[in-house]
Chains A and B, each alone.
Chain A
Amino acid sequence: MSNDSILLWVDVTTLMHWQRPAVGIVRVEQQFCLWLLAEQLPDVGFCGYDKSSRSFYAVSREQLQAQLDRIQAIGTRQNEAVPSGDWKLHLKHRLKQAIGYLPPALGVRVFNLLQRLRPHAGRLWRGLVVARGRLAAARRKEEGGVPRAFTPVQFAPGSVYVSMGLDWDYKDMADIYRQKQERGFKCLFFCYDIIPVLMPQLCVADVSRQFAHYFADLAWAADRILCISDASRRDLLQLLDTLGVPCASAERVHLGGDILPEGGLQAPSPTVEKVLAEPFILFVSTIERRKNHETLYRAYSRLARQGVALPRLVFVGMSGWGVQELFSDLRLDPMVAGKIELLHHVDDADLAVLYQHAQFTVYPSLYEGWGLPVAESLAFGKYCLASNAASLPEVGGDWVDYLDPWDVPGWAERLQFLFAHPEWVAERNARIAREYRAHPWRETAREIYEQARALASSSPGQN
């Protein structure tokens, strides 16, 4: 099939680099691609972007399917923290671990130093990559062929380039803007949230200004931006207004909430099976400062001191930045010993089992662009006690109760009530199971696809 017959180019750079279970942003890209592959749409092509050479390359359906299968297979069952083949990821993981052992003040300084050195390391690395690329190109010329894995593509005028991944890591938006100006294709991008700009204190190092730069270039390149909530759309438009950046069009897209595997619930892995042995409540989220595990820990510690009988609190998620002290507290605080459990790299099948068996779920996040776990909780018929911040009320509607995320006594009081009234929780769960209809991922995928099609058929200035 020639490139000219492709109307929508879907960027899968993030998926092709991903080596862990699909969560958050990766899940959106994953679900969209799964649907596109299932629909076998002839005018859709897949591509990646190589930042070092500033070029797009084709990804075949087979390559993409293989990668999706690989991601699906990663998780608790394989019990692998870091894939052994990815030395860069391995190094990053080891460095983060090592920094975690340093005293916090020193750790921050070392981290910031590494962040400052990162561009230089990047330049050195890119230099090596370019040199290697030239060598390979010369060799290919001799051999008379271009490897299929890296076939460059150029988008036809009027076609739509759709990108929804971790673009601040993998894309040079200024370059994409230039290519778009030259070739006349259109761009459909995503905005999940602008948290690094709004709340830089909750992010790694000082990334706020870098993200503002990223969003400005993204908006310049985009013909349409899909935002995952009204809150994230509002935040984005406000930021662009502050920066003086014009925005062609920003629309809201509804994320899915169903994660039940196709074959229904499967037998849990041994790790999860052990968790199921006792009553538990569930918090699904990356373990980082913004997600505010701290409030739950403090509420639990407070309730434990009061002698309240506590179900186990299970944190499911990867370990992120700024939580070393929390981990230390969890390890050392006798009040919560055996009461809080951490599970990393849980796959969808195990996650479904955990949702199914949880008494209810909690979500005290300080800020969200959407709040997928709240939707997932409801999809599994589980009541959620959530933070009232940002987009979360959009996700949970009237099905969920909300608290100020900083209000530790409020959380403790509400949790105590829920533990003391299992019949109330059961009634709420039953009502949710009976009446709540999760937005299916296939609808989300269709919505994105239709937005892209509409963009393709719009004339300039009609976005």
Chain B
Amino acid sequence: MKKVLILASYSCVTPLHGGQIRLSEIIKSYQAAGHAVQSLNLYSMMSVGRGSHDFNYPLDTPWRLWQGRSVPLIEDLTSGRYAAGDEEAYARLTRAVEGVPDVIQVEQPWLFPLVARWRREGVFPGATIVYSSHNVEAPLKLAILRQYGIPEAEQIAAEIDALERQACELADVVLAVSRSDCQVLGAWCRQPVVLAANGIAAWPRVERDMAAWRGRLPQQPFPLFVGSAHPPNISGFFEVFGESLGFLPPDTRLCVLGSVGAHLPENPRMQRWLPLNLSRLQVLGVVDEAGLAAVKNLAHVIVLPITEGGGSNIKTAEALYSGKHVLGTPVSFRGFDAYLGMPGVHVAEPGRPFREKLRELLQAPPLAPAAPDLELRQSLLWRHTLAPMVSAVDQHLQSRSNHVQ
């Protein structure tokens, strides 16, 4: 049994968003392989789910400033500087590590400054360093910051780019979630990048839950969009659907599950045709696992209005696993090329092509998946997608151990 230390910028006590779910599944995979895992998480405690190894990133610390200025949407970046630069934080975090880890895995590049300092100062010298990338972060952050008109966007993106390159150089094992990310990160690495795609947890089909939800959902076949309040989910929605939902018939509602829903009706791009849009939209909000499963089971089409982001999307994997019609943009299927030929999986460019395809799919009969497709869908489960990660880390530990001997 080896000790695996995981550093992350969020809690996984109650996994809600993509990053938290991935972290939680990574922990389960290592544990299933017989390793002991400690997850050490640094984030603002305003967030939910405080775990025993969760540390607060204080709101009033000057480390939050970027070059002396207050810049929104970069808490993740500044938290790494705080972890490595603030002496008290550094000492607390270092003390919190239980024993001597054999593996230090960093989820996303943000906390790499802490690992870099450990390495400089000879702390945990023999540990295998794993960089677990979720995206190529610099271009993604650049797009978000530009969207919000942040003047320092380019400089911040350059800093993130440097951090990602440093993570690749420092790590013994580099993980990526898509083939395209593998290519990008591979150019910065000494060794091949391991593909450990995002996966999903199978969800049940509970008739009682579905019956309870049927009354709250539209009577007509409905499209479902599941997403968090992550800004690209909001911008993607409007890039794909535009400012009017009039393309949907009067008796059809686009159902929105997750915290993204609360941000749609109030968005400026929704306002021009608000009464029309509200008549075609049903915001379901954040629901529990059982509710999420029931609504997914009752949807006719699952839509993936994703237009940016380099990673592979968990929502895409869930949609592909659902056995429903799936309609996504080319970006939303990045990392899932193997599934594009499955019946019921449709790709359309954002805007008119997407809207017209959705209208067509709403008229189509429900999907009846064939056996080979069901098999292919099984490969979307976490236990399959994260297997290369466990095996690559084990292999590195083994080779190191052989080398020492």
Contacts and interface: CB of A to CB of B under 8 A. Distances in A.
Contacts of B242: 244
Interface in B271-310: 272-276, 279
Contacts of B250: 173-174, 177-178, 216-217, 220-221
B148 interface: no
| Among B245, B272, B273, residue most surrounded by chain A Cβ atoms (within 10 Å) | B273
Interface string A206-221: 0001101100110011
A209 B275 contact: yes
Nearest to B244: A243
B272 A220 contact: no
Interface in A153-200: 173-174, 177-178, 181
Contact of B246 (A173, A181, A221, A245): A245
Contacts of A221: 250
B251 interface: yes
A181 B245 CA distance: 20
B273 A209 contact: yes
Given A212-B275, A213-B273, A243-B244, A220 B352 contact: no
B355 interface: yes
A243 B275 contact: no
- Which DSSP category, helix, strand, loop or mixed, fits chain A's interface? helix
Contact of B251 (A174, A212, A246): A174
B350 to A, nearest CB: 13
A217 B249 CA distance: 8
A243 B251 contact: no
Nearest to B242: A244
A243 B249 contact: no
Contacts of B274: 209
A242 interface: yes
Interface in B220-270: 242, 244-247, 249-251
Interface of B is mostly: loop
Contact of A213 (B247, B279, B355, B359): B279
The CB with the most chain B CB atoms within 10 A, among A177, A213, A242, A245, is that of: A213
A369 B173 CA distance: 69
A243 B276 contact: yes
B244 A209 contact: no
Interface string A223-266: 00000000000000000101111100000000000000000000
B251 A216 contact: no
Given A174-B251, A178-B251, A221-B250, A243 B273 contact: yes
Contacts of B251: 174, 177-178, 181
Contacts of B244: 216, 242-245
Contacts of B246: 212, 216, 240, 243-245
Contacts of A209: 272-276
Contact of B276 (A181, A212, A246): A212
Contacts of B272: 209
Contacts of B359: 246
A245 B247 contact: yes
Contacts of A244: 242, 244-247, 352, 355
A245 B355 CA distance: 10
Nearest to B251: A178
A123 to B, nearest CB: 16
Interface string B358-380: 01000000000000000000000
A221 B251 CA distance: 11
Contact of A177 (B245, B249, B273, B355): B249
Contact of A220 (B245, B249, B273): B249
B31 to A, nearest CB: 49
A450 to B, nearest CB: 28
A213 B352 contact: no
Contacts of A240: 246
A209 B275 CA distance: 6
A210 B247 contact: no
B80 to A, nearest CB: 44
A348 to B, nearest CB: 37
Contacts of A181: 251
A181 B246 CA distance: 18
A213 B246 CA distance: 8
Given A242-B244, A244-B242, A244-B244, A213 B249 contact: no
Given A209-B274, A244-B244, 17 more contacts: A173-B250, A177-B249, A177-B251, A178-B251, A209-B276, A210-B275, A212-B275, A213-B279, A216-B246, A240-B246, A243-B246, A243-B247, A244-B245, A244-B246, A244-B247, A244-B355, A245-B244
> When A and B form their complex, which 5 residue pairs have the shortest distance between CB atoms, in order from nearest?
A243-B246, A244-B247, A174-B250, A213-B276, A216-B246
Interface of B: 242, 244-247, 249-251, 272-276, 279, 352, 355, 359
Interface of A: 173-174, 177-178, 181, 209-210, 212-213, 216-217, 220-221, 240, 242-246
8 contacts: A174-B250, A178-B251, A209-B274, A213-B273, A216-B276, A243-B246, A244-B242, A245-B246
